[in-house]
Amino acid sequence: MEETPLSRTGRAWREVDGRALVHNARLLQGLLAPGCRLMAVVKAEAYGHGAVWVARTLEAQGVDAFAVACLSEGIALRRAGISGVILVLGWTPPEQAPLLAAYGLTQAVADAAHGLTLSAQGVELKVHLALDTGMHRLGIPAEDTAAIAYMFALPHLKVEGVFSHLCVSDGNSEQDRAFTARQLEVFYRAAEELRQRGLDPGALHIQASYGLCRLPPQPCQYARPGIALYGAASSPDLPLGVAGLEPVLSLRARVVSVRTLPAGCGAGYGLAFQSMEDRRLAVVSIGYADGLPRALSQRGGQVLLGGTRRPMVGRMCMDQLLVDVTNGPEVAAGDVATLIGRDGGARISAEEVARQCGTIANELLSRLGPRLPVVPLV
């Protein structure tokens, strides 16, 4: 998603702050063990921030490894000129192996059957082996050393890394901490057993954002931060535990109309907003087709206008929403409303909006839609 000439005069857009992104990357690099590097997770359009923009910005700062969810995301980065390692974390159909090879992508082996069918394609592939250390999602069971070792013997697969995923590293209970410690123990034991068999496990990586921020430095070659890179936590109840991260994204939209709603009248679909007295309503040109949760306007959603919080009212529409601007500084058509980000001394965080809608910032940001141009701050 590239900036368009109409971005800052359009109906709605995402602003992304390259200075904040670089700051966050450097802060996270300071948490790494010697010899460990960032593998920036840029799946889902870099959590809604624009994958190409994020990758180019970080690549200019020396980051040379990226993780995506699927083949098409990896191809898009290569076509944009991104070099270095691009690891496809998700399952890729084996018959698409020629595309993996053609674009120089590294494929995660989802399980033993996936490895066998990838090998059977007869295409030379770089792979990282996913190990199941307790999440029970993808991966070869980490205790099954024989099955893991067999992947090294398959023709056409060049194993360059072994990885896993910590599923409760964001938790706060003693049980969560104990489970995470068990996952780490199982993972490192599997790597050591491979070495004892004379096999090089290659680059090890197991930490995502919460594992990186909450655990001591790990003896790995990569860490895979996602949400932390973008200066957000999954929710206010799950802090990352690292001070100084800065939000990268602001979400803004245009006020297109302001009108008076007489007392006793309703507004919006279902006339869900009813005025008991004369009210001033602003129409803001963004809606659920842009990726906002439809329920936000009826769960306490707000926007910033002139540095002042103004409540959303009524039912959110596909392309617009209503804001009550009766109180506070005057609002006019053409003004900019901030839905996520800072306006003057006020701020609305992605975590706040996500909590209002019963979700996490990861989902809220990654579902922001392609109608919202990504506008880098200069």
Please say whether the beta carbons of 25 and 55 come within 8 A. no
Percent of all residues in the chain with a pLDDT value above 70, rounded to a whole number:
97
* CA-closest candidate to residue 74, choices 36, 97, 245: 97
List 43, 126, 188, 222, catalytic entry: 43
- Angstrom distance (rounded) from CA 36 to CA 32: 6
- According to DSSP, residue 204 is labeled E
102-117 burial string, b = 16+ CB within 10 Å, else e? ebebbbbbbbbebbee
pLDDT at residue 1 is higher than 60? no
Query: Whole-angstrom Cα distance, residue 339 to residue 303?
Result: 5
**CB-CB contact of 46 with 53 (8 Å):** yes
State residue 270's pLDDT score: 96
288 labelled catalytic: no
DSSP 352-367: HHHHHTTS-HHHHHHT
Q: Is 43 a catalytic residue?
A: yes
Q: Which of 150, 230, 269, 288 is catalytic?
A: 269
Residue 8 clears pLDDT 70, i.e. is over it: no
What percent of the chain has pLDDT above 90? 96
Residues in contact with 126: Cβ distance below 8 Å, sequence separation at least 6, in sequence order: 104, 105, 106, 107, 158, 160
Determine the average pLDDT of the residues in 176-186: 98
Instruction: Summarize pLDDT for 103-127 with one digit per residue, the tens.
Output: 999 999 999 999 999 999 999 999 9
- Going by pLDDT thresholds of 50, 70 and 90, the confidence category of residue 7 is low
Q: What is the pLDDT of residues 210-245, one digit of tens each?
A: 999 999 999 999 999 999 999 999 999 999 999 999
